[in-house]
Amino acid sequence: MIFEEKTMKSDKLYEGKLLNLRVDTVEIPDKKYSKREIVEHPGGVAIIPITNDNSIILVKQYRKAIERFLLEIPAGKLEINEEPRETAIRELKEETGFEAKKLEYLLEFYTSPGFSNEKIYLFLATDLIEGESNPDVGEFIDIEEHSIDDLVKMVERGEIVDSKTIIGINFAKKYIDKKQ
In tens, the pLDDT along 90-143 reads: 999 999 999 999 999 999 999 999 999 999 999 999 999 999 887 777 778 999
Whether the pLDDT of residue 85 is over 90: the answer is yes
Whether the pLDDT of residue 20 is over 80: the answer is yes
Q: Both 57 and 139 in a single domain?
A: yes
Q: How far apart are the first and last CA of the chain?
A: 46
**CATH number of domain containing 166:** 3.90.79.10
Enter the DSSP assignment of 172: H
Cα-based torsion angle of the residue sequence 82, 62, 114, 88 in order, rounded to the nearest 10 degrees: 20
Mean pLDDT of 50-73: 96
Residue 1 lies in a domain: no
Enter the DSSP assignment of 30: T
Enter the DSSP assignment of 8: E
Q: Both 27 and 50 in a single domain?
A: no
The Cα 132–Cα 67 span in angstroms is 28
103 membership: H or E segment, kind and range: strand 99-110
Number of domains in the chain: 2
Q: Both 83 and 32 in a single domain?
A: no
Q: Which domain holds residue 147?
A: 44-179
Q: Both 138 and 80 in a single domain?
A: yes
Q: Please provide the average confidence, as pLDDT, over all residues in the chain.
A: 95
> How do strand 142-147 and strand 68-72 relate by DSSP bridges?
unpaired
